[in-house]
Amino acid sequence: MTKGLRVTDLRLNVSATGDDIVDEVRISIEPGKVLALVGESGSGKTTVGLAVLGHSRRGVTIAHGRVECADTEVLGLDDDAKRKIRGELVSYVPQDPASSLNPALRIGVQLMEALEVHDFGGSVESRKVRLKQMMEEVLLPTDDEYLLRYPHQLSGGQQQRVGLAMAFACRPSVIVLDEPTTGLDVSTQEHVLKTIRQLTRDHGVAALYITHDLAVVADLADDVAVMYAGRIVECGSVKDIFTNAAHPYTKHLVIAAPDIEGKKEIVGLAGRAPSPGKRPTGCSFALRCESADDACRSVFPAEVSVATGHVTRCIKIGKLPNVVVVKPRASQTIESGASVVVLQDVSAGYSGKVVVHNVSLSIRRGECLALVGESGSGKTTVSRAIGGLHREWTGSMSFNGAELQKTARRRTSGARQGIQYIFQNPYGSLNPRRTIGESISRPLAIIGTSKSESRKAVLDVLEKVNLPGSYAGKYPDQLSGGERQRVAIARALVSNPVVLVCDEVTSALDVLVQAAIIDLLGDLRKQLGLAMLFVTHNLPLVRSIADEVAVMSEGRIVEVGPAESVIGNPQQAYTKSLIMATPSIERSMR
């Protein structure tokens, strides 16, 4: 009998072409343990997670392998049997809790349905008792008033805990968690992670945790499997992976991960993983590996043991550096007194309700000011007001010494061009029917720039963001997430701005792409002397990019100062609580 979860030689391919998406995937998770599946976007993590439930996306075929949950081989079941075990034997928690909850049904009804569909408890009274237990387990109220709420009446963290309650409702043996804390602020994330850890251990559940957040991995997981181009290239304990990484790709992941405990320069990785149908016969990472030679490019590496319970796929084991060298981030030189944006006693709200109170800030040329805080603290409202995207505010705001009007439309052309906003979701901010060149040149067309000058400007700005000129003819859906974010930055730069307002611009990116974007923004600051407002809830990232930090809570600035001082020696209780709630690789490895 298999306890927990065991995946053996799993292979999925593209139905139309037969090209492998994932291959030779082997995973073993004991009851009560958490295995983190990490890797950059497109590596196959979610494909593996869905296969554990016996499911594959449209156009994808499960071609080979075994998935054993407890004593049940999942892939051999018929469709009816698979539907029966989902939620009962194996459960799934998606990244976006709102999309998995029915907006038209009260949460109490949805939780009862999760029990009824599997006839859990055998009676209504038994299910009511279990419902109360479920809510208590995820630290949510059990009163009728709360159960009568609809999903939209809950915060993001509460929605995610309802999702966890549904997943654990029928006491499954295995649970798959697909990026369940992406987009949550650190305080909410801390509560969700504690809930996952407690439920997994208390009920002996084998948990597969899919993520790109390595600090969360260090805090939560027992073991780690690293995926690259559809294959697991390294697997071992958390300590093995973070202190003795063997595969060069794993080393790059660790280098790219920012940490709240240390100010370091995070380093990205050039290139991208080969897609299905374009993967080489040898090591798929050879194209991006500085240590690769002809043998690496011609022979696919077999699995080799590094230590007990620690395996990898690399033919150069023992010939690569054992220590990951992390360089401290160099400080920026800021011109004293050169403030380009100044806010004085700014209050803002929605429909008459004030949500931002008396905020005073200044941003100097070449400086990165990070604006941090929990969800709902007012960060984005402030940033949108600066960008001219939110008109309901009072107080004073100036740009280069001149008063700023409330809306971008009413501002001078110099102010509109000088302050550029980069949105969190680059795909949503790019017109899918326009080429990249057309999207980038749109701001120039508005001010009457000639077509020939626009074409030259587009090519120049693509070069600045490290994209080839040929990308001007591509469409957004032909680009990766990181490339789309570079295009969004290029579109902001084409107007020759003085200030960039970056609203959670890396929140949906994996660590390598995030590192590349942060590196790019840092280079642009040095080259162009840009001022930057960096809105985020990612405190480790703040320590790697920001010069100054302003901490917001309930619409007010509660602490402001140099990044190293605020993060390294916080004075306010709220700031201290944010830092303590933030997972840390260094802290977890002590």
CATH architecture of 355-430+498-589: 3-Layer(aba) Sandwich (3.40)
Report residue 518 CA to chain centroid gap. Answer: 14
* CA dihedral (423, 43, 197, 580) positive or negative: negative
Q: How confident is the model at residue 333 (pLDDT cuts 50, 70, 90)?
A: very low
Contact partners, residue 374, CB within 8 Å, separation at least 6: 185, 186, 187, 188, 537, 553, 578
pLDDT of residue 359: 98
pLDDT of residue 506: 87
* For range 526-546, the mean pLDDT: 91
Q: How confident is the model at residue 479 (pLDDT cuts 50, 70, 90)?
A: confident
pLDDT in tens, 447-466: 888 999 999 999 999 999 98
Q: How confident is the model at residue 496 (pLDDT cuts 50, 70, 90)?
A: very high
How far is 364 from 401, CA to CA, in rounded Å? Answer: 12
* For range 269-296, the mean pLDDT: 91
How far is 274 from 467, CA to CA, in rounded Å? Answer: 18
* CA dihedral (234, 238, 242, 244) positive or negative: negative
- Quote the pTM value: 0.87
Angstrom CA distances, 568 to 36, 259, 549, 556, stand at 29, 12, 12, 21
* For range 519-526, the mean pLDDT: 89
pLDDT in tens, 344-377: 999 999 988 999 999 999 999 999 999 999 888 9
pLDDT at 181 over 70: yes
Q: How confident is the model at residue 482 (pLDDT cuts 50, 70, 90)?
A: confident
pLDDT at 327 over 60: no
Q: How confident is the model at residue 1 (pLDDT cuts 50, 70, 90)?
A: very low
* For range 497-502, the mean pLDDT: 96
pLDDT at 425 over 90: no
Exposure letters 203-217 (e unless 16+ CB within 10 A, then b): eebbbbbbbbbbbbb
How far is 244 from 416, CA to CA, in rounded Å? Answer: 50
Beta bridge partner(s), residue 6: 28, 68
Percent of the chain with pLDDT over 70: 97
Mean per-residue pLDDT over the chain, rounded: 91
Asked if residues 180 and 194 have their Cβ atoms less than 8 Å apart, the reply is: no
pLDDT of residue 92: 94
| Parallel/antiparallel/unpaired status of strands 353-364 and 310-312 | unpaired
Asked if residues 562 and 171 have their Cβ atoms less than 8 Å apart, the reply is: no
pLDDT in tens, 302-324: 999 999 999 999 999 877 765 44
pLDDT in tens, 108-120: 999 999 999 988 8
Query: In this predicted structure, which of 134-138, 152-156, 231-235 has the lowest mean pLDDT?
Result: 152-156
* For range 212-223, the mean pLDDT: 95
Ranges assigned E (strand) in 186-265? 206-210, 223-228, 231-237
* CA dihedral (436, 439, 443, 448) positive or negative: positive
Q: Token match 């380093």: residue?
A: 267
pLDDT of residue 139: 86
**In the chain, which segments carry CATH 3.40.50.300?**
355-430+498-589
pLDDT at 329 over 60: no
How far is 384 from 355, CA to CA, in rounded Å? Answer: 13
Asked if residues 102 and 186 have their Cβ atoms less than 8 Å apart, the reply is: no
Closest to 436 measured CA to CA, from 491, 512, 371, 492: 491
